[in-house]
Amino acid sequence: MKLKFYNKKITGILSILPKNKVYFKDEMNNYNFTKKQSLKLAKIMGYSTRRVVNKKTSVSDLCVFGLNYLFKNKLLKKDKVDALILVTQSPDYFLPPTSNVISGKINLRSDVICLDINQGCAGYEVGLIQAFMLLEQKSISKVVILNADILSKKVSIKDRNSRPLIGDGASITIVEKSKTKEEINVYIKMDGKKYDSLIIPAGAFKQPTNSNTKNLKKDKFGNSRSLENLLMKGDDIFNFIITKIPEMLKEMYKDLKIKKEYFDYFFFHQPNKFILEKLANTIEIPNSKLPSNIVENFGNGSGITVPLNICFNLGSKAKKNNYKVCLGGFGVGLTWSIIACNIKKLSFCKIIEFKK
């Protein structure tokens, strides 16, 4: 699907990270790998430090903390928010929507649309699409997108396939109508036949938890996980990314009559260093234009990786300059999307730590 939007822009990005740091080296003894194998794994994949929440912290806690920071520092006015979109796979409750819970906690007026979206790796792009669509309405001028996930709670300690890469966190992106002429081009595709390439099989309504769903089972690679744990088929995901993203980029270059050099940055989702470097090679983009340093510093926080990538690698430079960027998300669903837009003189672009 190709979508075009006009006269809309991102005006601020804030990332919220939990304070707790977990180090790969402290956890590698849990994996069914020798020390040498584990160290090699860490080097190739870029595993080092990840940020995880403590037991009591929920997605709404992270989002409320970030929103209050923006209100307190006069970066966002409460009565100007027309819609609140939360993209998460780890909601506080099955029902009600966590976006409603957040709206209540920060005391938003009732003349606001709250909306939860279940998306992950491409959750930033899906959230942006929803925000752009809402902004087509006369009565909506400002949309707040929240991306938040705490999936570290769902990865088995004996799963070297997923455990060492998953991080937690949240991000807040403000999207507004723009007076200057802006064109945003969106490409998005989905393949539901591969829904089980990235999945938490049990715990919802299809397969509720019972005494068996907690049992750890060893797979053919020696990783142990239960049906309540996150399962990622690494080879499927790798093959999917390395073929679908180059195809989609080619399509975009052709449609927009641009070359890859047009973009200053490719801010892509951060599954791990290995995949990103192979992807950068395939699409012939220098590593300096396609950052791959999020997993090693913070972990892969699903839908938060693109905004965190922008905050970490551009930071306050995004307040002064204009950048032509290609955003990209790919994973759970399966869903993949790229967005060609501008990051232009944001009013804020930074990372804060969640404190309770």
Partner 1 sequence: MIEIEKFLIQLSKILEVKKIKNKDKFEKLKEWDSLAMLSVIALVNEMYKITISASDFKKFKKVGNLVSFIEKKKKK
Question: Which of 109-117, 183-191, 228-236, 258-266 is the region at the interface with partner 1 (rule: CB under 8 A)?
Answer: 228-236
Residues 14-53, mask of contacts with partner 1 (x by CB under 8 A): -------------------x---x--xx--x---------
User: Is cis: bond before 230, omega within 30 of 0?
Assistant: no
Residue 242 or 258: which CB sits closer to partner 1?
242
Q: Distance (Å, rounded) from C-alpha 63 to C-alpha 248?
A: 32
Q: Distance (Å, rounded) from C-alpha 340 to C-alpha 344?
A: 13
Amino acid at 216: L
Among 23, 195, 221, 262, binds partner 1 (CB under 8 A): 221
Q: Find the shortest distance in angstroms from Cβ 242 to partner 1.
A: 6
Going by C-alpha positions, the residue among 79, 81, 99 that lies closest to residue 91 is 99
Q: Find the shortest distance in angstroms from Cβ 259 to partner 1.
A: 21
Q: What angle do CA 222, 225, 231 make, to 5 degrees?
A: 100
Structure-token match 């049990």, residue found: 202
Q: Find the shortest distance in angstroms from Cβ 291 to partner 1.
A: 20
Q: Distance (Å, rounded) from C-alpha 277 to C-alpha 113?
A: 39
Among 278, 287, 317, 322, binds partner 1 (CB under 8 A): 278
Residue 195 makes contact with partner 1 by CB under 8 A: no
Give residues with Cβ within 8 angstroms of 232, minimum separation 6: 161, 162, 197, 198
Among 18, 46, 66, 234, binds partner 1 (CB under 8 A): 234
Among 68, 137, 215, 239, binds partner 1 (CB under 8 A): 239
Q: Distance (Å, rounded) from C-alpha 227 to C-alpha 53?
A: 22
Residue 222 or 315: which CB sits closer to partner 1?
222
Which 8-state DSSP code applies to residue 212? Answer: T
Under the rule (CB under 8 A), what is the footprint of partner 1?
A: 33, 37, 40-41, 44, 161, 221-222, 233-236, 238-239, 242-243, 274, 278, 281-282
